[in-house]
Structure 1
């Protein structure tokens, strides 16, 4: 990985990656947060005013609700969006998703839900915390083309923090991943 010549941290460069040119009308940005990473995530989300939805369905007991994965819409450069990036980046709170503007949050949620459980070769069903950047950054590079396309689905881009937030990796359909240093 090459040295960051811009002098800005990965977090400082992140808004330009997510919202190039300011407010991109043709895309929307989401965070998929891992509530189990920090007990402060859900209370912060509930106060933030950001639109969010749990990937788990139905009525949840409070402990499960707090530890659940949450899909959160991040309006372009809105104060709450930037605060969420500031709080979660470097703490493995989750991954960032860039989707077409016409993709509904419900459709994206349903797509992400498909990956919450996986079946092993010996037919056991396991929970798959793909929204943990430490998991996804290792898993996606091992996927074959079909698995890779299936996980990305309708998304334009996945952004995963690396090295405790000092850099990132971008995953896009039909391309190899890019590290922050390559930008």
Structure 2
């Protein structure tokens, strides 16, 4: 008979108190799942439901419930998780800056970043600039590995104004679509291009293909594609990446995955570092062999490259068909949330730099998460909500009556956020007269 297992994670969560202060708590969450990923799915669901902001999962530990020594460390959590399937501890207030945690979580994907200093040659005329940034050239082009470009034709065309892949026939390329679909949607399909360069080409800029010069001058930093390094050939890698274009969810419904967008993949790959099945799938790992050595995504408008490499000391195996789980969709939702969060926070910093300097560094993020919890879904609505909270904290205003009034109105959250902003502005104008 299989022994029942309990997973327990120690988390650091944050939320804003009724007084508007940013507060952090330690929280232990236990489930009786056998697999860590199932446990983490449940953990994330709970934290979203409770309107917490998840700062970190400091450690996750699997406990054999037949081992009394380990069970005795968490008697209440293990007992409740066995009987109910889920348990949580009481919140313990902490100062995150003064509380050390042991991070013993296994990582299956390593991430490193390389700054590129892309503006170093902008003071030179266009004809005198190098075709590629030197640190980027050293990173991408090596004699011991092939370099490929996963390219999104739609976003590339937005930069060029025309579909131009056909004129670059000197570059070996394959559409990730097949048959009639590849012909019908050739201007919108994802492509895999072999952009490897020989040592001789790298020594002489005149031997660099025009495609490379154009891509690294005009497209790097525009989110039109990402780099793949592999010892495999073009056809083998094309077959590999075809599997990710259209994927079924657990209810057998098909979804398209825009993995050629470096903004999406930056977030997605950073979210699966502890998910061995996903790392094995994306990098085509079976034991000591792998199809993909590295995935390199531009970041911060091209001024930084993020390098993703599997940690090969783990035994990983790429088996079975991939299906999108609730955890995958949570990652996608988080991407959209984080994307909008950056837009909102950047705009607030630009508009109210002096006031924001007086706040806790993470306060805008907490207000943003609060706005999500209250149903604000658009960047505009979340901007207005964060603005209102910031002004209330600055001028000592109580928003409870205003928010209660807005909740009772049969209008959209965008209309409510706009009314909230106008009300705050009118109140402040009255105060400072």
* TM-score normalised by length of structure 1: 0.80
Deviation at 1:151, TM superposition (A): 0.3
Structure-1 residue corresponding to 2:308: 171
User: Residue 92 of structure 2 corresponds to which residue in structure 1?
Assistant: none
Distance 1:124 1:170, change over 3 A: same
Q: 1:88 to 1:3 in 2, by over 3 A?
A: closer
Q: Where do 5+ consecutive residues of structure 1 fail to align?
A: 176-183
Would the alpha carbon gap of residues 3 and 126 (structure 1) be closer, same or farther in structure 2, given more than 3 Å must change? closer
Distance 1:174 1:3 in 2: 19
CA distance in 2, matches of 1:44, 1:174: 38
Is 1:56 aligned to residue 177 of structure 2? yes
Q: Point out which structure has higher relative CO (alpha carbons under 8 A, 6+ apart).
A: 1
Contact 1:35/1:42 (8 A) holds in 2: no
1:33 corresponds in structure 2 to: 151
**Post-superposition offset of 1:115:** 0.7
2:141 to 3, 10, 19: 19
Q: Report the CA distance shift for 1:121/1:142 in structure 2 as closer, same or farther (over 3 A).
A: farther
Q: Which moved more, 1:60-69 or 1:107-116?
A: 60-69
Contact persistence 1:133–1:160 (CA under 8 A): yes
Counterparts of 1:52 and 1:171, CA distance in 2: 23
Change (3 A) 1:118 1:42: farther
C-alpha distance 41-58 of structure 1, shift in aligned 2 (>3 A): farther
CA distance in 1, matches of 2:118, 2:152: 27
Deviates more, 1:115-124 or 1:66-75: 115-124
Q: How many residues align?
A: 168
Secondary structure, counterpart of 1:169 in structure 2? strand
CA distance in 1, matches of 2:277, 2:166: 37
Q: State the alpha-carbon separation in 1 of the partners of residues 250 and 216 from structure 2.
A: 37
CA distance in 2, matches of 1:121, 1:146: 16
Q: 1:181: which partner in 2?
A: none
1:133 pairs with 2:133: no
**Which shows bigger deviation, 113-122 or 9-18?**
9-18
Number of the residue aligned with 2:247: 118
User: CA offsets per residue over residues 44-99 of structure 1, 9 Å max, x none?
Assistant: 32222211110000124766210100111103243332432323211101110001
Q: RMSD in angstroms over aligned alpha carbons?
A: 2.7
Aligned to 2:218: 87
- Is the Cα contact below 8 Å between 2:114 and 2:304 reproduced in 1? no
Unaligned ranges ≥5, structure 2: 1-111, 121-131, 203-207, 285-290, 313-433
> Whole-Å Cα distance in 1 between the matches of residues 182 and 113 of structure 2?
46
Alignment TM-score, normalising by the size of structure 2: 0.36
Shift in Å, 1:171: 0.6
Choose 87-96 or 60-69, whichever is displaced more. 60-69
Offset, 1:28: 0.7
Larger Rg: 2
